[in-house]
Structure 1
Amino acid sequence: MHAISYTRFGAAADVLEPVTLPTPDPEPGEVLVELAVSGVNPSDVKARAGTRPGVVKPAFDRIVPHSDGAGTIVAVGEGVDTTRIGTRVWIWNGQWQRAFGTAATHICVPVMQAVPLPDAVSFETGATLGIPGLTACHAVFGGGEVMGKTLLIQGGAGTVGLLAAQLAKWGGAKVITTSGATGSEAATNAGADVVLDYGAEEMADQILAANNGQPIDRIIEVEFGLNIDTDAAVIAPNGTIAAYGSAKAMTAELNFGPLLFKAATIDIILIYLLPKPERDAAIARLHAALADGALHCPVAQVFALKDCAAAHKAVEAGTRNGAILLDTTA
């Protein structure tokens, strides 16, 4: 099989290299997927760069990056129903705690990590359902139904934010998002009722004004460390801050008092570790939203497999409104 891999941390152009590796045979309980598309996420880029806290060297001698992807099952291991061969699937946790991910023409994964992809859903969409889709879905619905509630989505023009806005609207919520000027249109198109400039002064006052002076039931947070004071000011009593990122301020400082007297819940989300019942529920919701035509997974750019380094750079730039993908057939 053809793949992109690295053996050391560093800049994408310096460490990512094309390789030809033996196509793996599926072990018992596994399936072999011929990939069509690989998703490139910020977590993949950080892992390759060596910026994860406490990690000083790659966990394996050679790593094929990326956890998300979509393709077709072409072989199955012992114990897997042979009728799965030919099934279109999307992949989650492709490279989580494993050496070989989806930046390749093929991948072997446990059968439960190859989710049947509805016929009407493209491989490009399938490759966004893993990290972005599951994160957005669990962040929105992890506390239950959102009908009649108000959700604040910080960073509403990122891939997770755009998916979260659509899912929240589908669930019957009022949606307020924050974004930069370049992302305002994308956030609006995703269904946000109000889009605020996250660089504006007195952000808490603007958020409350956008909700007719009422506090926010649930906050989906991409930059916990930067925004916790604002979140604490606007969260409703017994509300939840569902935080999935804090890249710009990993060491967060927070004032306990405002959170205490709101009885606020801080729910830190790492989608790789989502327990099976919650993951199954999120998968079912994603498929239901797709079937209802309520979920569009925006794609910013598609690169050929050989241009994986350029795809990583596009993610690092941080100015995209949608997913960065690899065409693993090109």
Structure 2
Amino acid sequence: MRAVVYSETGPSSVLRLVDREVPEPGPGELRVRLARAGVNPTDWKARAGGTYAELPYAEITPGQDGAGVVDAIGEGVLGFAVEDRVWVLLAQHGRPFGTAAELVVVPAENAVHLTVGASFDLGASLGVPAVTAHRALTSGDVPRLSPGALTGQTMLVHGGAGAVGNAAIQLARWAGATVLTTVSSDEKAALAIAAGAHQTVNYRVGDATAEIRALAPDGVDLVVDVAPAVNNDLDREVLRVHGTVAIYANNGGDELTMPVRQTFSKNLRYQFILLYTLDPALLRAATEDIAAAVEDGALQVGSEAGVPLHHFGLEEAGAAHDAVEQGAVGKVLIKLD
């Protein structure tokens, strides 16, 4: 089978397309013939050397997310059959070989049935972005998402045109929330509205804090934040008492400082999120709720859903990594079928 690998960290040029033996699933594992592989920021950051002090394996195939069909089942696996359509997540977490390959072996718990009618593009776009978004939205007073679960609540999603921001908007709307989002341009505002945001605020024009307070005079219930070092003062001003800030990235700086009294006077909750150390029960809840949203047609991809798709061939994996690193708006996918 064809697979992309790297044996040293560095720029995308360290990626090589090779032929490898077909992997066999062990006990509790599935083998999936992939139609699409998702590319996330975590993939290029690890490849560039931002994750490992030294490579834990002689060769690594990048890629946490993908979608395809089951083509082999290991001993003891229940609930799956050959030819089942699935999406996979955390394929390369703690393992050498991820989804930038024609075939991938994953633990059965890292595969989720993909409903008939849902595209492989959608399946490969779920994983990292949607699970992160789910954990962010359930960091407040509502532990699970379903239709109506967030009715009466107002969510502020920073970076509504990003992959996690887009998933957070769609999931929040499915659960009944009012959704506000910050964006940096009219083009990104249009994408956030396509995803389902009720209102957008361009933080580069005017007073974003004042605009958000005008839109949510009683305060927002929860903020999904991609850049806490930059946004924390705004977040504190627009949150209601007992509100929550859910932080999943460090865009804009690695240091977060805050005034203690103004923060605790609102009884604010801060939830930091890293998918790779997420409690298995929370991960399971996220995949179950995301699968239900997909079944309901509430999660979509494509420009009409606010997330343009960018397809690359397996031999173009380096260019796919570069596109994500350079901030491509939308979702970058490797096409394998």
Give me the CA root mean square deviation: 1.5
Q: Which residue number corresponds to residue 301 of structure 1?
A: 310
1:222-262 Cα offsets, whole Å, 9 max, x none, are 11121111111211111110111113212222222222111
Say which is worse superposed, 229-238 or 78-87, in terms of deviation: 78-87
Q: Which residue number corresponds to residue 336 of structure 2?
A: 328
**Structure 2 unaligned blocks of 5 or more:** 143-148, 302-306
**Structure 1 unaligned blocks of 5 or more:** none
Matching of residue 88 in structure 1 with residue 96 in structure 2 = no
Alpha-carbon distance in 2 for matches of 1:246, 1:139 = 15
Maintained 8 Å contact 1:229/1:255: no
1:110-162 Cα offsets, whole Å, 9 max, x none, are 11111111111111111111101111122123431321111100001101111
Q: Secondary structure in 2 aligned to 1:254?
A: coil
TM-score, structure 2 normalization = 0.92
Matching of residue 133 in structure 1 with residue 130 in structure 2 = yes
Alpha-carbon distance in 1 for matches of 2:297, 2:79 = 31
- Between the aligned residues of both structures, percent identity stands at 38
CA displacement at 1:81 relative to structure 2? 4.1
Q: What is the letter of the counterpart of residue 307 of structure 1?
A: E
1:71-126 Cα offsets, whole Å, 9 max, x none, are 11111112124952221111110111211100000111111111111111111111
The equivalences for 1:229-240 within 5 A come to 229-240=233-244
Q: Which residue number corresponds to residue 61 of structure 2?
A: 64
Alpha-carbon distance in 1 for matches of 2:80, 2:276 = 28
TM-score, structure 1 normalization = 0.94
Quickly say closer, same or farther: Cα 1:62–1:302, change in 2 above 3 A: same
Q: What is the letter of the counterpart of residue 27 of structure 1?
A: G
Maintained 8 Å contact 1:30/1:110: yes
The equivalences for 1:107-186 within 5 A come to 107-143=104-140, 144=142, 145-181=149-185, 182-186=187-191
Q: Secondary structure in 1 aligned to 2:152?
A: coil
CA displacement at 1:169 relative to structure 2? 1.4
Q: Secondary structure in 1 aligned to 2:289?
A: helix
Maintained 8 Å contact 2:139/2:271: no
Alpha-carbon distance in 1 for matches of 2:128, 2:308 = 14
The equivalences for 1:135-284 within 5 A come to 135-143=132-140, 144=142, 145-181=149-185, 182-211=187-216, 213-284=217-288
Q: Secondary structure in 2 aligned to 1:312?
A: helix
Maintained 8 Å contact 2:112/2:291: no
Matching of residue 3 in structure 1 with residue 6 in structure 2 = no
CA displacement at 1:276 relative to structure 2? 2.6
Alpha-carbon distance in 2 for matches of 1:299, 1:120 = 19
Maintained 8 Å contact 2:139/2:244: no
Alpha-carbon distance in 1 for matches of 2:222, 2:79 = 44
Alpha-carbon distance in 2 for matches of 1:83, 1:253 = 48
Query: Which of structure 1's runs of 4+ aligned residues deviate more than 6 A?
Result: none
Alpha-carbon distance in 2 for matches of 1:295, 1:59 = 35
Quickly say closer, same or farther: Cα 1:294–1:81, change in 2 above 3 A: closer
Maintained 8 Å contact 1:5/1:18: yes
Maintained 8 Å contact 1:299/1:325: no
Q: Secondary structure in 1 aligned to 2:45?
A: helix
Q: Which residue number corresponds to residue 146 of structure 2?
A: none
Q: Secondary structure in 2 aligned to 1:220?
A: strand
Matching of residue 311 in structure 1 with residue 320 in structure 2 = yes
Q: Secondary structure in 2 aligned to 1:37?
A: strand
1:169-226 Cα offsets, whole Å, 9 max, x none, are 1211111100111311000111111101122343222211121x22111001111121
